[in-house]
Amino acid sequence: MLEVRDLLVRYGEHTALEVGHLAVAPGEVLAVIGPNGAGKTTLLLALACLIRPERGEIRFRGRPLAARDDREYRRHLALVLQEPLLLSLSVFENVALGLRFRGLPRAKMARRVDKWLARLGIGHLRDRPAAHLSGGEARRVSLARALALEPDLLLLDEPFGALDPPTRAGLLEDLQGLLAETGQTTVFVTHDLDEALMLGDRVAVLLGGRLRQVGPPEEVFAEPADPEVAAFVGMETIVAGRVVACQDGRVVVDVNGLHLEAVGEIPPGRAVYFCLRPEDVTLWAKDGAPASSARNRLSGPIRRLTPQGPLVRVVVDCGFSLTARLTRASVQEMDLAEGVEVIASFKASAARVIPR
Amino acid sequence: MSLIWEGILDAIRLLMGDDPEVWQITLLSLRVSGLATLISLLVGLPLGTVLALGRFPGRSLLLSLINTGMALPPVVVGLVVSILLWRSGPLGALGLIYTPAAIIIAQTIIAAPVVTGLTAVALQQLDPRLRLQLLGLGASPLQMVLALWWEARLSLLAALMAGFGSVISEVGASMMVGGNIRGQTRVLTTAIVLETSRGQFARAIALSLLLLALTYMVNLALTWIQQRGVRQ
């Protein structure tokens, strides 16, 4: 459906976006993730031909787009920016806006609008002025406005940003169902990894304006291409080491004199990053660790405990900083505090080794 | 005090149709200022839009010139237009000096920067991402501009009111290029100056009240339209 080649967007001396190659297949939902300022919105605007790149080619249905094709091309897509940006009209007139731009007859327009208002559960808001909508309602209206166009390509910029958790969860579920039901080709950008996991068929990681990795969510989250991607996708323990042994799909990495095991095929002598998610680390009281299949068992004092809602982030000094994440209940039951000695264990299959 | 009271009574008599010349002056005032405002709108709305949305060399200079033009002294405009339209001037052959057309030209030059400048401000106050969102829904440039005008309509109406206000009440340019000729180029403001210079204060007050009433009614209508938009 859409293919981007050698795209470069610069603002003065600053490179805002650099994408070597990116393709979106028909019916696919591509989630573009990255922190604030990574270039996600820039990518979306470039895909919509709303900003002029310094170089690069965008192909739509196999045909390269020329500058004169911009307007015609945009009639095949629908863009939803981060803010709803509704006009001071009724909900009906807002949702009908793009259809009016395309000159759809009034009767057909009304049927299409009513259909999408119903599918997004906002049919009762049809005649309400847009200024009287709540944040969640306005977001649904802006989505309805785009979906009513039944576009070939849907571009969403942080569609769930600034919504309270229950509203966000409801809208996320509804959109997931809609995209699956309609097979709508979609590129949506988000900084939220959960949203990417829920909605994306593939995930593209954008860091510092550069596309770092593209692949199925399980691949990107489990096999990050480099330490920066690893850090962004939630691997909080990232330490430098060197492979000392490799056999039968198992590598042994020397990290500050400690030998840690992971899954991989990297030859001995190679410098690597050893990466681990906090959820994959289990903590035991010093004398309480039973026998287990975990190949890695380390001990050390707790350096820091940081509450994070219902969970607690625990940093253990095992000769390097190892991060675990426990429930508050576990922390209380085990009487964990700074300075308390613990045993940390994790499976070799949970660790990832990235050559450096 | 009796002077003011006489003026009010005189105004009522004039409004009751006692003096046909007053109606002629009033209608001429409405016509020339109305046309000047309309032409200013036709020029100022698109020009203000280009200044607000466009990015081109010299844009800042043009904007500062427009902003300067908003404070242009009417007598200076009157002087320049007089020189241009004078019989021996570059446009003297058109024979426009001391005609209503000359007043319309001068008043347009006064009102156009006001409408242009306030239009540019009105559009610049809109969320800049709205433009991208409209284009991202498939709007053509014209459709995008019309949608932005709709969103800025309250401020654009205020620009229109300001443009009209700047010309219905000016006297310097109208006097200089119109000549205040009875039955031909005498408008409410120039008539007030004349009656005052003659010592006819009651009549001058009556004409002033008429001018105020006229200005108020026009702005009442525009304000009603504007605030209807707010209530919606």
Predicted pLDDT of residue A339: 93
Same domain membership, residue A320 and residue A246: yes
Same domain membership, residue A226 and residue A324: no
Same domain membership, residue A207 and residue A258: no
Assess whether pLDDT exceeds 90 at residue A231: no
B133/A81 touch (CB, cutoff 8 Å), yes or no: yes
| Distance from the Cα of residue B92 to its chain's centroid | 25
User: Residue B3's pLDDT band (boundaries 50, 70, 90)?
Assistant: confident
Identify the domain containing residue B114 by its residue range. 28-192
Same domain membership, residue A175 and residue A124: yes
Compute the distance between CA of residue A299 and CA of residue A208 in angstroms, rounded to an integer.
36
- Residue B138: which of A85, A88, A101 has the nearest Cβ? A101
Q: What is the pLDDT of residues B47-77, one digit of tens each?
A: 999 999 998 999 999 999 999 999 899 999 9
Q: How many structural domains comprise chain A?
A: 2
Domain assignment present for B18: no
Classify burial at A299, counting beta carbons within 10 Å of its beta carbon; exposed 0-12, middle 13-18, buried 19 or more: middle
User: Residue A129's pLDDT band (boundaries 50, 70, 90)?
Assistant: very high
Domain assignment present for B183: yes
Q: Which amino acid is at B197?
A: S
Any A CB within 8 A of B146 CB: no
- Residue A78: which of B127, B137, B143 has the nearest Cβ? B137
A88/B132 touch (CB, cutoff 8 Å), yes or no: no
Write the CATH number for A284: 2.40.50.100
Which of B133, B134, B154 is best to mutate for the A interface (most A CBs within 10 A)?
B133
H or E stretch at A312: strand A311-317
For chains A and B, CB pairs below 8 A equal 59
Classify burial at B169, counting beta carbons within 10 Å of its beta carbon; exposed 0-12, middle 13-18, buried 19 or more: middle
Classify burial at A66, counting beta carbons within 10 Å of its beta carbon; exposed 0-12, middle 13-18, buried 19 or more: exposed
Assess whether pLDDT exceeds 80 at residue A290: no
Average pLDDT (A284-302) is 80
Assess whether pLDDT exceeds 90 at residue A197: no
A101/B143 touch (CB, cutoff 8 Å), yes or no: yes
Predicted pLDDT of residue A289: 62
Same domain membership, residue A279 and residue A245: yes
Domain boundary among A215, A230, A245: A230
Average pLDDT (B76-93) is 93
Assess whether pLDDT exceeds 60 at residue A162: yes
Same domain membership, residue A289 and residue A342: yes
Domain assignment present for B171: yes
Q: How far apart are the first and last CA of chain B?
A: 45
Same domain membership, residue A206 and residue A146: yes
Predicted pLDDT of residue A340: 92
Domain assignment present for B215: no
Assess whether pLDDT exceeds 70 at residue B83: yes
User: Residue B18's pLDDT band (boundaries 50, 70, 90)?
Assistant: low
Q: What is the pLDDT of residues B131-182, one digit of tens each?
A: 999 999 999 999 999 999 999 999 999 999 999 999 999 999 999 999 999 9
User: Residue A262's pLDDT band (boundaries 50, 70, 90)?
Assistant: very high
Assess whether pLDDT exceeds 90 at residue A275: no
pTM for this entry: 0.82
Which positions ≥6 away from B76 have C-beta within 8 Å? none
Any B CB within 8 A of A149 CB: yes
Q: What is the pLDDT of residues A165-178, one digit of tens each?
A: 888 888 888 888 89
Any A CB within 8 A of B125 CB: no
B136/A71 touch (CB, cutoff 8 Å), yes or no: no
Write the CATH number for A82: 3.40.50.300
Give the whole-number percent of chain B exceeding pLDDT 70. 97
Same domain membership, residue A243 and residue A189: no
Any B CB within 8 A of A154 CB: no
Contact list in B for residue A74 (CB cut-off 8 A) is 135-136, 138
Considering only residues A69 and A88, tell me which one the structure prediction assigns the higher pLDDT. Answer: A88
- Residue A50: which of B132, B140, B143 has the nearest Cβ? B132
Which of A11, A77, A87, A139 is best to mutate for the B interface (most B CBs within 10 A)?
A87
CA distance readout (Å), B90 to A342, B81, B104, B105, B107: 97, 11, 18, 15, 20
CA distance readout (Å), B226 to A16, B127, B156, B157: 42, 20, 9, 6
Any A CB within 8 A of B231 CB: no
Predicted pLDDT of residue B98: 94
Q: Kindly report the average pLDDT of chain A as a whole number.
A: 90
Q: What is the pLDDT of residues B181-229, one digit of tens each?
A: 998 999 999 999 999 999 888 888 888 888 998 888 888 888 888 777 6
User: Residue B10's pLDDT band (boundaries 50, 70, 90)?
Assistant: confident
Q: How many structural domains comprise chain B?
A: 1
Contact list in B for residue A89 (CB cut-off 8 A) is 150
Same domain membership, residue A195 and residue A129: yes
Domain assignment present for B8: no
Domain assignment present for B2: no
A115-124, A308-317, A342-351, B19-28: least confident range: B19-28
Query: Could you tell me where the beta strands, DSSP code E, fall in A140-257?
Result: 153-157, 186-190, 202-207, 210-215, 237-247, 250-255
Other beta carbons within 10 angstroms of residue A233's beta carbon come to: 22
Domain assignment present for B20: no
Predicted pLDDT of residue B125: 95
Write the CATH number for B75: 1.10.3720.10
Identify the domain containing residue A281 by its residue range. 237-355
ipTM of the complex: 0.83
Average pLDDT (A213-239) is 85
Predicted pLDDT of residue B36: 97
Any A CB within 8 A of B55 CB: no
Predicted pLDDT of residue B232: 57
CB interface of A with B, residues 49-68, below 8 Å: 50
Domain boundary among A175, A209, A230: A230
Domain boundary among A230, A250, A280: A230
Same domain membership, residue A264 and residue A301: yes
Same domain membership, residue A269 and residue A206: no
Same domain membership, residue A344 and residue A197: no
Nearest CA in chain A to B127: A85
Domain assignment present for B17: no
User: Residue B17's pLDDT band (boundaries 50, 70, 90)?
Assistant: low
Predicted pLDDT of residue B152: 95
Any A CB within 8 A of B127 CB: yes
